[in-house]
Amino acid sequence: MARPRSGQIVGTLREIWPLLPAALYLLTFLGIVLFYLIALTFSKVTDTGVIFPTLRTLGEVVVMPQFSEALVNTLLFALVGTPLELIVGLYLALLLYKWFPFRDTVRSVFMIPLAIPALVTAILLFILFDYPGGHVNHLLMGKYAFFPQVLHDPINWRSSKVFALGVSLVGKVWRDMPITMLIISGGLLSIDPELLDAAKSMGAGWRRQFQHVIVPLILPSISAVVLLRSIEMWKEFIFPFVLAGQHELLGTFIESLYNSWGNAHQSAAVALILVFCIVATSFLLFWLAEMLRRMVVEGGEHAKR
């Protein structure tokens, strides 16, 4: 009995051996980052020296009103942005699911946002909504002949937190939309067309096909999109940094604490809290996805009976 087990272990090691360099690379840098985050978070510089371990730095950060606002802004950013990216990506993937003339060309056009750097997209939006001389203000003030005058005075769009974060969210969704579309498209292409034909022959319309055939079969793709996009929303930096200004998210607040305030310990504390939020969200989404999968399986078995 020992020989087959040792042979299985050797075979498994041979299979995973090519992955070991990449795994060591990722784990090494992850360990270094976490080590310094923890070391800086649980230490405090005083007149007498560095105190370690201590919760004083973490306590100082938690009671900051700027931290509370950044945490709420980031939470809302993730709660709104994640389903929005899922809906947009799902719609475009369904649009490209069935063949039509120039479908590959249309798919290539939809990939353009991913080819444009996020910083370039954010700066373009900044120029459009700049105050007072942005193109949107010029348009609404009737400075272009093809559009009637709507405003007499320019609007400082980015002074509004809702609008500034909303534009940041729109830019983020537009730029990352191709990733969501490709993941869901991969799930759609794995569906056997005969299943849809069978459902159609039984009188099921498109809505019932989508609800009872397509969604259960692409559930793994949807789960992957929700998990990946929620992580991206939590750690978003570029769009709110360029467009939202003083309305900070956790990512931009970390930068402010480090560069503007010059406090690496508090910056590391916020970063560690952000890591905790991402990990907690990931576990929650894994649990919800598993629960939804079980519901779909049980529903299918109940329908067969």
267 and 199 assigned to the same domain: yes
222 and 285 assigned to the same domain: yes
* Partners of 45 in beta bridges: 50
Q: Is the pLDDT of residue 303 over 60?
A: no
Inside any domain, residue 100: yes
Tokens representing 297 are 């399986």
What pTM, to 2 d.p., does this model score? 0.84
24 and 91 assigned to the same domain: no
Q: Is the pLDDT of residue 301 over 80?
A: no
194 and 46 assigned to the same domain: no
pLDDT tens readout for residues 90-147:
999 988 888 788 888 888 898 999 889 999 999 999 999 888 878 888 888 888 888 8
Beta carbons within 8 Å of 123's beta carbon, 6+ residues apart? 242
H-type helices in the chain, by residue range? 2-16, 20-41, 56-62, 65-95, 103-110, 112-115, 118-128, 135-140, 161-189, 193-201, 206-209, 215-217, 219-234, 238-239, 250-255, 264-304
Contact status, residue 112 vs residue 204, Cβ threshold 8 Å: no
pLDDT tens readout for residues 237-262:
999 999 987 889 999 999 999 998 88
Inside any domain, residue 128: no
pLDDT given for residue 1 in this prediction: 45
pLDDT given for residue 304 in this prediction: 53
HSE of 275, CA atoms in CB hemisphere, 13 A: 13
Which has more pLDDT, 275 or 15? 275
Q: Phi, psi at residue 146, to the nearest 5°?
A: -85, -5
- Domain count across the chain: 2
186 and 50 assigned to the same domain: no
Q: Is the pLDDT of residue 3 over 60?
A: no
Inside any domain, residue 79: yes
43 and 88 assigned to the same domain: no
pLDDT given for residue 211 in this prediction: 78
d(CA 272, CA 174): 29
Which has more pLDDT, 301 or 176? 176
Inside any domain, residue 148: no
Which has more pLDDT, 158 or 243? 243
260 and 195 assigned to the same domain: yes
pLDDT given for residue 281 in this prediction: 94
198 and 240 assigned to the same domain: yes
Please give the full DSSP string across 100-136, using - where no structure is assigned: -TTHHHHHHHHTHHHHS-HHHHHHHHHHHT-TTT-HH
67 and 88 assigned to the same domain: yes
**Residue 215: CATH number of its domain:** 1.10.3720.10
pLDDT tens readout for residues 208-244:
888 778 888 888 899 999 999 999 999 999 999 999 8
**pLDDT band per the 50, 70, 90 thresholds, residue 2:** very low
Contact status, residue 163 vs residue 244, Cβ threshold 8 Å: no
**pLDDT band per the 50, 70, 90 thresholds, residue 5:** low
Question: How much is the average pLDDT of 149-165?
Answer: 85
Inside any domain, residue 50: yes
Tokens representing 239 are 């769009």
Inside any domain, residue 255: yes
pLDDT given for residue 245 in this prediction: 79
Inside any domain, residue 258: yes
d(CA 148, CA 242): 30
Q: Is the pLDDT of residue 81 over 80?
A: yes
pLDDT tens readout for residues 30-76:
899 899 999 999 988 887 878 888 889 999 999 999 999 999 999 99
Residue span of the structural domain in which 226 resides: 62-111+176-304
Which has more pLDDT, 85 or 155? 85
pLDDT given for residue 175 in this prediction: 92
Which has more pLDDT, 237 or 191? 237
Question: How much is the average pLDDT of 199-205?
Answer: 77
212 and 277 assigned to the same domain: yes
Contact status, residue 252 vs residue 65, Cβ threshold 8 Å: no
**Nearest in space to 278 (alpha carbons), one of 37, 100, 10:** 37
Q: Phi, psi at residue 35, to the nearest 5°?
A: -60, -50
